[in-house]
Structure formats: C-alpha cells, structure tokens
C-alpha cells in the first residue's frame, strides 16, 4: 500500500486520508519502520474503506471559483432570511452571519453568537438549510450537543433528524467537490 510518511515530534502513529484519497501516516521521529508498517497492516480495512469514500467521483468535477462565488451570492440572499425567521420563532439573538465554502462543516456558531454557514447548502433542499440554521441558532441556548440541545432543535424543527440523515447520505459527495 502506498502512503506518505511524515515524521514529527508526536508520540503516537496516526493515519489520515486526504480529500483525494491519499494515505498519510504520521509517526514519531524514532518509530521503527517495521512498527509503522505493522500499524498500517492492522488498519488496512479502515484505510480501504475511507480511501474509497474520499476518492473523487469522476462524474463530479471540483467546483470552479465561479460556481462557488455564485453559490455564496445565493447563500447571502437566502440564509440570512432563514436565520431571521427561525431566530424570531425561537426567541434567539445572534451576531454576524458569514458565508464560506467550508470543507468539513455545514455551519458553526461562535461563543459571541456569530454564525457561519457553508455556501454548499444552496445545493440542498430548503428543509436541510432550515435544519442547519436551527441547529446553529440552538447553540445560542446550549453551546454543546447535549440532550437539552437536541430538545431545543427538535422543538423548533421537528424534521431535523430527517434532514440530518439526508446530509449524512448526500453531503459527503458535495464536500468532496471542494478542491484542496
């Protein structure tokens, strides 16, 4: 199995799979090569599973800068309206709203109440957009993912878990189209 070995001052061996499906092994400076290779062999089923998930579908080329700009422009019009609607329903205040092309998140909420959303949400059904908006606004009441947090989400948006399932199924192929 081909892999890139990166040695550093870390204490343990770890394996990462890049967005393009390359295997990256990080190891301590003094780790013996035989130990590294034994670790890789032990993790081979996990590696194969994740490499196949990450390898780009040739039918889905990376987004161009123009496509991402168009998605961001649409998101700037759509998402703030949805945030305003659900913030009023939930009785929640918030700070700034930022739209980005994020590679790992659909949204986030800072401790100051600033909200970030992924422009790729414009490629999902409106129900999914609403579920992410409600999720991030719920962090204004519960800054965690506890049972209380999910109760806030469920009360505001009962369809949340259906939308979450949609994102788990369809979201990775959208994220894979973001170039490194």
Residue 37 belongs to domain spanning: 4-54
Please check whether residues 41 and 93 belong to one and the same domain: no
Residue-wise pLDDT for 50-101, tens only, equals 887 666 555 678 899 999 999 999 999 999 999 999 999 999 999 999 999 9
Q: Which helix (H) or strand (E) holds 116?
A: strand 115-118
Q: Tell me, what CATH number does 78's domain have?
A: 3.30.2010.10
Predicted pLDDT of residue 160: 97
Predicted pLDDT of residue 20: 72
pTM of the predicted protein model? 0.71
Helix (H, G, I), strand (E, B) or coil at 74: helix
Could you tell me how many residues make up the chain? 180
Instruction: Tell whether 59 is covered by a domain.
Output: no
């Amino acid at each position: 199995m081909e892999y890139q070995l990166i040695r550093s001052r870390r204490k343990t061996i770890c394996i990462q799979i890049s967005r393009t499906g390359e295997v990256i092994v990080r190891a301590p400076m003094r780790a013996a090569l035989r130990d590294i290779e034994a670790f890789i062999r032990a993790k081979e089923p996990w590696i194969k599973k994740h490499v196949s998930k990450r390898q780009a579908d040739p039918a889905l080329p990376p987004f161009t800068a123009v496509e991402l700009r168009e998605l961001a422009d649409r998101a700037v019009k759509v998402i703030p309206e949805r945030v305003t609607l659900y913030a009023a329903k939930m009785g929640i205040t918030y700070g700034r709203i930022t739209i980005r092309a994020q590679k790992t998140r659909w949204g986030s909420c800072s401790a100051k109440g600033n909200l970030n959303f992924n422009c790729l949400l414009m490629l999902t059904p409106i129900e999914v957009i609403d579920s992410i908006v409600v999720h991030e606004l719920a962090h204004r009441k519960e800054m965690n993912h506890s049972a209380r947090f999910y109760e806030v989400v469920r009360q505001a948006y009962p369809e949340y878990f259906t939308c979450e399932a949609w994102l788990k199924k369809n979201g990775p192929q959208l994220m894979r189209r973001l170039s490194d």
